[in-house]
């Protein structure tokens, strides 16, 4: 039994925007795997809810003419994992979201909810950061697009404005083409867990597989919001594919990450795991790209 004041069910995106304007205090709910938990904990007890879960137009993955991958915000984790476009162009995202919770959560949980919740541990977020995803929001003024790095304002707070709902997550062709990625979820168990640290690396190698043209690495739980380790990225760029590059890349992530000390894990432990994860994810990404270390 949930303590809710009212539930408004949106019939279309336009209707959702109208409901948002009519009930500015109301909480948007999609799959509910975060919102209902928070309500039960008392954090959002007694709220009004606007459910957008019935908006099928926000489900599914499409490839636009310019090659942009467009993921509808209500696409569930399990659909993303099984989507042919994701599997073809950015399989690491499918692999990352396949590590969320358990099967039931992956069926009900959506990628839009995962990002709008604003938490650093979201399994989708580090990969989306590593691919410079763009968040699409629809509001009374129409569509607004925000780079994911700007969308996250602080822990638990994202840039959704009055009357807006998140409608899609976009990844440009330039960002994903010829890249190979690997995600390492470091958690205390192999299922039903949140990340102690999430590490997503992707690389683009020279056609001969001997040089790193581009490397990207993003972390979850290495700071209050997901973040990129750009020092490491710059360092790897143009370097030969080698154990030394992997090691230097891994060590360099320490320049940009800032995990906190908490009862869940100590800062020095998270730093250690971040370096080791970056090294392993880099090597695996290179292997997938056909490079030989």
Partner 1 sequence: MSKSVGKSVVRVDAYEKATGRAKYTDDLCDRSALVVKICHSTIAHGFVKSIDTTQAEAIPGVVRVLTCFDVPDHPFPTAGHPWSTDPHHQDVADRMLLNRHVRYYGDEVAVVIAEDEVAAVQGVRALKVEYEELPFVLDVQKAMEEGAPQIHEEYPQNILAHTDIRRGDYAKASQEPGLIKVEGWYDTPTVQHCHIENHGCFAYMEAGRVVVVSSTQIPHIVRRVVGQALGIPWGKVRLIKPYIGGGFGNKQDALYEPLCAWCSTMVGGRLVKLECTREETFVSNRVRHAIRTHIISWVRPDGTLVARKFEAFSNQGAYASHGHGVVAKGMGAFPQLYPCDNLECDCWSVFTNRPAAGAMRGYGIPQAMFAGESHIDDICKAIGMTPLEFRRKNLMPVGYTDGFSKNELYSDTFNQCMDKGMAAIDYQRKFEAYRNQTGPIRRGVGLAVFWYNTAVWPISLESSSCRMVVNQDGSLQFQTGETEIGQGCDTAYSQMVADAVGVPLSDVHVVSTQDTDVTPYGTGAYASRQTYIGGFSIMQTAIALRERILNIAHEQTRMPVSNLDLVDGQIIRKSDGRVLKSLGDLAMESLYSLEHSQHITAETTAQIKSNAYSFGCSFAEVEVDIPMCKVKLLNIVNVHDCGTLINPALAEAQVHGGMSMAIGYGLSEELKFDEKTGKPLNNNLLDYKLSTFMDHPTLQAAFVENAEPTSPYGTKALGEPPACSGAPAIRNAILNATGMAIDCCPITPHVLYRKFKEAGLITD
The Cα–Cα gap between 28 and 17 comes to 11
Packing angle between helix 243-252 and helix 267-288, nearest 10 degrees? 140
Which residues ranging from 127 to 156 are in contact with partner 1 (CB under 8 A)? none
Q: Indicate whether 269 belongs to the interface with partner 1 (CB under 8 A).
A: yes
Smallest distance, Å, CB 279 to partner 1?
Answer: 8
Q: Indicate whether 36 belongs to the interface with partner 1 (CB under 8 A).
A: no
Residue 163, C-beta contacts closer than 8 angstroms, at least 6 positions apart = 17, 20, 21, 139, 140
B/e letters for 217-239, b = 16+ CB within 10 Å, e = fewer, are: bbbbbbbbbbbbbebbbebbeeb
Q: Indicate whether 85 belongs to the interface with partner 1 (CB under 8 A).
A: no
Q: Which residue has the tokens 């192999």?
A: 190
Give the number of residues in contact with partner 1, rule: CB under 8 A. 27
Smallest distance, Å, CB 42 to partner 1?
Answer: 7
According to CB under 8 A, which one of 145, 161, 178, 264 is a site residue for partner 1? 264
Window contacting partner 1 (CB under 8 A); options: 62-70, 83-91, 190-198, 283-291 = 190-198
Pairing of strands 134-139, 4-9: unpaired
Which residues ranging from 206 to 235 are in contact with partner 1 (CB under 8 A)? none
According to CB under 8 A, which one of 86, 160, 275, 283 is a site residue for partner 1? 275
Window contacting partner 1 (CB under 8 A); options: 39-47, 55-63, 174-182, 199-207 = 39-47
Q: Quick one: 185 or 216, whose CB is closer to partner 1? A: 185
Q: Quick one: 27 or 206, whose CB is closer to partner 1? A: 27
CB 29 within 8 A of CB 55: no
Window contacting partner 1 (CB under 8 A); options: 15-23, 182-190, 207-215, 222-230 = 182-190
The Cα–Cα gap between 189 and 229 comes to 26
Coil vs helix vs strand at 229: coil
The Cα–Cα gap between 44 and 116 comes to 15
Binding site for partner 1 (CB under 8 A): 1-3, 42, 45-46, 186, 188-194, 196, 263-266, 268-269, 271-273, 275-277
């Amino acid at each position: 039994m949930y303590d809710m004041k009212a539930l408004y069910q949106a019939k279309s995106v336009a209707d959702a925007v109208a409901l948002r304007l009519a009930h500015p205090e109301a909480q948007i709910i999609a799959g509910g795997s975060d919102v209902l938990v928070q309500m039960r904990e008392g954090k959002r007890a007694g709220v009004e809810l606007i459910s957008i879960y019935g908006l099928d137009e926000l489900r599914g993955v499409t490839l636009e003419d310019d090659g942009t991958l467009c993921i509808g915000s209500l696409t569930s984790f399990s659909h993303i994992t099984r989507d042919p476009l994701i599997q073809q162009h950015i399989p690491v995202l499918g692999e990352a979201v396949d590590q969320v919770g358990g099967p039931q959560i992956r069926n009900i949980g959506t990628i839009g909810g995962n990002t709008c919740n604003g938490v650093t541990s979201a399994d989708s977020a580090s990969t989306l950061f590593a691919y410079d995803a763009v968040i699409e929001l629809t509001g009374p003024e129409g569509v607004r697009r925000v780079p994911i790095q700007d969308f996250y304002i602080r822990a638990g707070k994202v840039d959704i404005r009055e009357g807006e709902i998140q409608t899609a997550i976009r990844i440009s062709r330039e960002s994903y083409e010829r890249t190979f990625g690997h995600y390492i979820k470091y958690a205390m168990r192999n299922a039903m867990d949140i990340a102690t640290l999430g590490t997503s690396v992707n690389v683009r190698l020279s056609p001969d597989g001997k040089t790193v043209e581009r490397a990207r690495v993003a972390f979850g739980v290495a700071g209050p919001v997901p973040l990129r380790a750009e020092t490491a990225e710059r360092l790897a760029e143009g370097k030969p594919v080698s154990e030394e590059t992997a090691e230097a890349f891994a060590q360099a992530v320490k320049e940009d990450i800032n995990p906190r000390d908490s009862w869940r894990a100590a800062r020095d432990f998270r730093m250690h795991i971040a370096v080791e994860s970056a090294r392993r994810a880099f090597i695996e990404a290179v292997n997938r790209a056909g490079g030989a270390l």
